[in-house]
Each structure stands twice: as structure tokens, then as C-alpha cells.
Amino acid sequence: MTGANSGIGRAIALALAQSGAHVAVNFVVNPQQADGVVGEIKAVGVEALALMADVADPVQVAAMFAAVDLAWGGIDILVCNAGIDGRAAAAWDADPAEWGRVLDVNLGGAFLCAREALRRMIGQRAGVVLAVSSVHELIPWTGYSAYTASKAGLSMLIKTLAQEAAPFGVRALALGPGAIQTSINAAVWNDPKMYADLIAKIPLGRMGTIDEIAAAAVFLVSEQAAYITGTTLFVDGGMLDYPDFEHGG
């Protein structure tokens, strides 16, 4: 699982472990956090590895999958969670290198990891690729054109992978969180004005939790979701339901 050493990634990793899966915890910074997640997973009674790799680098990605092969002989589930927002800037002020880095990590990284996973899953005629996307597959976000473009691209990547892999019994799908309460967005939910503005965009009237996202991820990669592929499940409290139109147009 990529980007698994904190936040949503950590929650999904632990939920998978609690469901009986061995988990490879990928990280690119904060190795101590990754080691901590590995310890939490092992405490559940399953195996875990901490694997450092920049998902935007095909050489590092290949080495990471080789390590998983060595440890467990293959892979059944890939969760692509690694992602970055990038620096806020209107498109005309955006730095091309920074803009490209967001695409390289969010979209290119998912492709490189899925490529390695599918090479293994196609041969065994079983497996699931799950990408953690966002409501910003569909909702524009001023100042973050790279992020929104990467998530929209991720949606079509997943649809295409699902189409290609379906004849081999392999599924590919995405999970689209809305506003989820994590340490990354603490500045928003700790500021009454910013929080009120955010909640106005969510029909259910609250932020989601990392455990709710983790539960959805476990469902999607399980046999209970065996007939679901090529789509994104949005877990967003109704954010995509256009709450501004609650009282009419």
C-alpha cells in the first residue's frame, strides 16, 4: 500500500491487517512513522514490511514490488494512496515543475504501481487495484489545477485498467473521499469560520473520519465487492449532491 505511514493511508493499512492481510507499508518520508505502522500491524497478528520508494520513480517502484515478491511471493491487493496537493496557485502563476510533480506522484505513481501489480495479477488471474482518488475527480478546486487534473486522470486510468484486466478476473476501482478529518487539514477544522464554510458544502453536516474511508476500502477489495469494477465509490457525506441547491435553483 502506497502512502501508508499516516492519515488515511495508515487507517486503511490497519483495517486491511485487521481483516487478515499482510501489508507492505510504502513511504517516502518519515520512516519512523512507517515503522510505527508496521508495529501496529504486527500487533494484530499479521506480517508487515516498511518499504521506502518514490512512486514516481519506476526503478524504485520495481524494487519495492520485488521486495514484496521476496517476502510473500506476490500481491493480491494494491492500494494506491500516495498523493500530494501541490502549492496553491492560479494556473497562470503555477510553476511547471511543481505542477508536473503533482501529476507524476498522483497519476504517474498510480500507473507505475498498477503496472507492476497487474503484471503479477494477470498471471494469477486474480487481484484488485484500488486507487484513492477524491471528490475532485469531479469538483474543480481553484488554485489546485494539478491536483484536480491528476484525480480526473486517475478516474479514467482506473476505468481503462478495469477494462483491460476484467478478462483475467482482476478488478480495478477507485475510492473518492470528500472532506475527511485528518491532521493535514487541522487548520480548517480548528478555525470556526473555515469549518462553517466547509460544513455548508456537506449535506450530512460533518466531516468524515479516516475509519469510514478505511471501512469502504476494505469492502471494495473484498469478495463482497466482487462484481464492482471500473468505477469510483465516493465517500463524501453528499458533497457531490450540490448542497447549494437544497432550497431550489
Q: 155-166 burial, b for 16+ CB within 10 Å, e for fewer?
A: bebbbebbeebe
Answer yes or no: are the C-beta atoms of 25 and 36 closer than 8 Å: no
User: Looking at residue 128, which CATH number applies to its domain?
Assistant: 3.40.50.720
Residue 196: inside a domain = no
Q: For residue range 48-96, what is the model confidence (pLDDT) as tens digits?
A: 999 999 999 999 999 999 999 999 999 999 999 999 999 999 999 999 9
Q: For residue range 201-226, what is the model confidence (pLDDT) as tens digits?
A: 999 999 999 999 999 999 999 999 99
Number of domains in the chain: 1
Find the farthest-apart pair of alpha carbons in the chain and give their distance in angstroms, rounded. Answer: 58
Q: For residue range 111-159, what is the model confidence (pLDDT) as tens digits?
A: 999 999 999 999 999 999 999 999 999 999 999 999 999 999 999 999 9
Residue 36: inside a domain = yes
**Amino acid at residue number 247:** H
Q: Is 195 a catalytic residue?
A: no
What DSSP line would sit under 195-241, residue for residue?
HHHHHTT-TTSS-B-HHHHHHHHHHHHSGGGTT--SSEEEESTTGGG
Residue 241: inside a domain = no
Q: Which of 147, 195, 227, 242 is catalytic?
A: 147
Domain range enclosing 30: 7-179+207-233
Residue written as cell 500481491? 75
Residue 44: inside a domain = yes
Answer yes or no: are the C-beta atoms of 133 and 174 closer than 8 Å: yes
C-alpha distances in angstroms, 155 versus 159, 179, 187, 231?
6, 18, 28, 8
